[in-house]
């Protein structure tokens, strides 16, 4: 049987760790393993350092690679905090055994229960709504719900990302949570039949597909579009007036949300600093920065939005417990494979 990429990466890192000399980590530090690749987060970390005197050390990489690294490093791992995006990746980290449960009155008070792991191994700190965008020139009756995407009237009109994308995996897992596996499979198969093209590219590429005329209806996370409002995004901003948007399911479950979150590493050498860093991410100052710096929605209720995010309008979010959604991720992957969603 061939070795999986994750196992291969783990083995390679294990060799490197064995050969490497021990590293001493001084007090007054917190070591982040982060798969958030946003330059704007630099200010977030700098503000924490200035407020606490705790120095932030950061290693960035692919989420699966970072988890493999933490597994290989074991008790010698310098990681204090793992930061990544989407419930699916946070769940994989928990299942890999690289996170630990923590107690924090601050986090329990500020982060809603449905945005945290049921064993307190991870917490959500920012959110993105996954909503419908459409070509206002060609679509006179846009879908109002996720279920509507399966209607035959939209045949040949829809562009969506690959089933390997974590946002799509979590979306289907949320459909399973609400409707059950059979209904979710029927829905996914019907949406697949409405594709305008095979899945390709990221969320920004789906929005560009509207501008190019290749796509009439797409799914994208809100922050990709809000970014094009705030700053120039080639292929989107110059023709933004052509793009309309719908927050789905406003009369039902509400718009699907995915999140960026973090947890304390199992063998964190600076556990107290790690918890303090997570508590800082829940502060009003940090929560405002997630919106202003990266066009996301805060996880803490009542925190103000940046103009680019507020421009999208108010909406009802889906309040389904993300720990429950995480439990349906294996079924979502199986369904995508069974129906042939590439």
Question: In this model, does residue 21 exceed pLDDT 50?
Answer: no
68-83: pLDDT as tens digits:
999 999 999 999 999 9
Pull the structure tokens for residue 122. Answer: 């991870």
Question: In this model, does residue 203 exceed pLDDT 80?
Answer: yes
pLDDT at 60: 92
Q: Which domains does the chain have, with CATH numbers?
A: 5-127+259-306 (3.40.190.10), 128-256+327-339 (3.40.190.10)
pLDDT at 27: 56
pTM of the model: 0.85
Question: In this model, does residue 52 exceed pLDDT 80?
Answer: yes
Distance CA 288, CA 339 (A): 41
pLDDT at 85: 87
Cβ within 8 Å of residue 242, ≥6 positions away: 135, 136, 137, 210, 211
Question: In this model, does residue 95 exceed pLDDT 60?
Answer: yes
Q: What is the mean pLDDT of residues 79-101?
A: 94
Question: In this model, does residue 2 exceed pLDDT 80?
Answer: no
Pull the structure tokens for residue 268. Answer: 């964190």
Distance CA 93, CA 259 (A): 15
pLDDT at 8: 38
Question: In this model, does residue 290 exceed pLDDT 50?
Answer: yes
By percentage, how much of the chain surpasses pLDDT 90? Answer: 84
By percentage, how much of the chain surpasses pLDDT 70? Answer: 91
The better pLDDT of the pair 291, 3 is held by 291
pLDDT at 280: 96
Print burial letters for 160-179: b (CB count within 10 Å at least 16), e (below 16): bbebebbbbbbbbbbbbbbb
Only one residue has tokens 């980590």, namely 25
């Amino acid at each position: 049987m061939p070795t999986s990429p994750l196992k291969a990466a783990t083995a390679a890192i294990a060799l490197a760790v064995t050969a490497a000399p021990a590293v001493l980590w001084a007090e007054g530090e917190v070591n982040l393993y982060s798969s958030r690749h946003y330059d704007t987060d630099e200010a977030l970390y700098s503000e924490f350092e200035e407020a606490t005197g705790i120095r932030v050390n950061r290693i960035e990489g692919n989420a699966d690679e970072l988890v493999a690294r933490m597994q290989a490093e074991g008790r010698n791992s310098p990681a204090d905090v793992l930061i990544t995006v989407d419930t699916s990746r946070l769940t994989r980290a928990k299942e890999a055994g690289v996170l630990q449960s923590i107690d924090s009155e601050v986090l329990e008070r500020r982060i809603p229960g449905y945005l945290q792991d049921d064993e307190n191994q991870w917490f959500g700190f920012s959110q993105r709504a996954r909503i419908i965008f459409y070509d206002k020139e060609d679509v006179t009756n846009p879908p109002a719900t996720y279920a509507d995407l399966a209607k035959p009237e939209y045949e040949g009109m829809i562009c969506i990302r690959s089933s390997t994308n974590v946002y799509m995996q979590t979306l289907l897992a949320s459909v399973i949570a609400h409707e059950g596996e059979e209904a979710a499979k029927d829905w996914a198969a019907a949406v697949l039949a409405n594709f305008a093209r095979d899945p390709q590219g990221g969320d920004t590429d789906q929005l560009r597909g509207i501008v190019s005329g290749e796509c009439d209806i797409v799914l994208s996370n809100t922050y990709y579009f809000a970014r094009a409002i705030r700053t120039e995004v080639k292929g989107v901003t110059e023709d933004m007036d052509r793009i309309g948007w719908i927050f789905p399911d406003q009369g039902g479950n509400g718009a699907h949300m995915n999140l960026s979150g973090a947890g304390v590493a199992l063998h964190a050498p600076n556990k107290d600093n790690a918890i303090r860093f997570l508590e800082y991410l829940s502060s009003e100052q940090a929560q405002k920065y997630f919106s202003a710096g990266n066009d996301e929605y805060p996880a803490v209720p009542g925190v103000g939005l940046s103009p680019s995010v507020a421009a999208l309008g108010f909406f009802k979010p889906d309040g389904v417990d993300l720990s429950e959604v995480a439990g349906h991720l294996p079924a979502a992957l199986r369904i995508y494979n069974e129906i042939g969603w590439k």
